[in-house]
Amino acid sequence: MIVHRDLKPENLLLDHNMHVKIADFGLSNMMMDGEFLRTSCGSPNYAAPEVISGKLYAGPEVDVWSCGVILYALLCGTLPFDDEHVPTLFRKIKSGIFPIPEYLNKSVVSLLCNMLQVDPMKRATIEDVKKHEWFQKDLPGYLFPSPVEQVDSSVIDTEAIAEVCDKFGVREHEVHNALLSGDPHDQLAIAYHLIIDNKRIADEAAKAEIKDFYVASSSPPAITESG
């Protein structure tokens, strides 16, 4: 599982269909079962109590907290925990006490309180959020992706396979098996598809730069005088 660790409005983008895309994975990490992190990173206002306290954390729960802060900001136009004095800000975050405007309905307040739960063991999980009644209401269709299709072995990117092998210390056949299994949660398959996506984005950016170069360097149309 990939943990972002720096979720905030600035890292949420909208595509041409108004679908949300997460950006800037510079602080992200690939989590393994049974592993924990201690690194204190991300933007202070969106960081979970255990992160700013330097405690061990598994990963997904800190992203849930950050999403809770983002949801509050979108609904209220302000942050649940804010102060120019960083030590005071940290005290507010650790307290878990935040103002609840009267115009918020009980359903979303329930979700916010579960996501902004100081105790990570009691905090809502990603599945809890997805099943919450407020989240389920008017849910956009793109949040239900099509089932993962079987990967055609003839079009597998060997360079991406090699990169996954190098990162995880596995053999090529293990990555092939992960891709052919069709399991969307397999960490090897996830890593492979992330590498492919990054290469595609880089290729598209390079093509755009080349196109812009030729457009900029092309001669302007000749203007002829009439009469």
**pLDDT tens across the length of the chain (227 residues):** 667 778 889 988 888 888 888 887 766 666 555 454 545 556 889 988 988 877 766 678 889 999 999 999 999 999 999 999 999 999 999 999 999 999 999 999 999 999 999 999 999 998 999 999 999 888 777 666 555 444 555 568 888 899 999 989 999 999 888 888 877 778 888 888 888 888 877 777 777 677 666 666 655 555 555 54
Considering 119, 143, 167, which residue would you say is the last residue of a domain? 143
Amino acid code (one letter) for 1: M
Name the strand (E) or helix (H) holding 178. Answer: helix 172-181
Q: Assess whether 28 and 112 both reside in one domain.
A: yes
Q: Assess whether 129 and 36 both reside in one domain.
A: yes
- Is position 222 within any domain? no
Nearest of 34, 12, 16 to residue 25 by alpha carbon: 12
Q: Assess whether 130 and 56 both reside in one domain.
A: yes
Q: Assess whether 110 and 210 both reside in one domain.
A: no
- Is position 88 within any domain? yes
Alpha-carbon span 5 to 122, nearest angstrom? 19
- Is position 29 within any domain? yes
Q: Assess whether 137 and 163 both reside in one domain.
A: no
3-class secondary structure, 57: strand
- In order of 46, 79, 98, the CA distances from 101 in angstroms are 19, 12, 10
- The structure's pTM equals 0.60
- Is position 208 within any domain? yes
- Is position 226 within any domain? no
3-class secondary structure, 75: helix
Q: Assess whether 180 and 113 both reside in one domain.
A: no
Amino acid code (one letter) for 27: L
Q: How many distinct structural domains can be found in the chain?
A: 2
- In order of 25, 28, 121, 154, 206, the CA distances from 59 in angstroms are 14, 10, 12, 35, 34
Nearest of 4, 15, 93 to residue 48 by alpha carbon: 93
Q: Assess whether 44 and 91 both reside in one domain.
A: yes
Range(s) of the domain holding residue 24: 2-143
Catalytic residues: 6
Q: How many residues does the chain have?
A: 227
Residue 148: DSSP 8-state: P
Q: Assess whether 159 and 209 both reside in one domain.
A: yes
Considering 143, 176, 199, which residue would you say is the last residue of a domain? 143
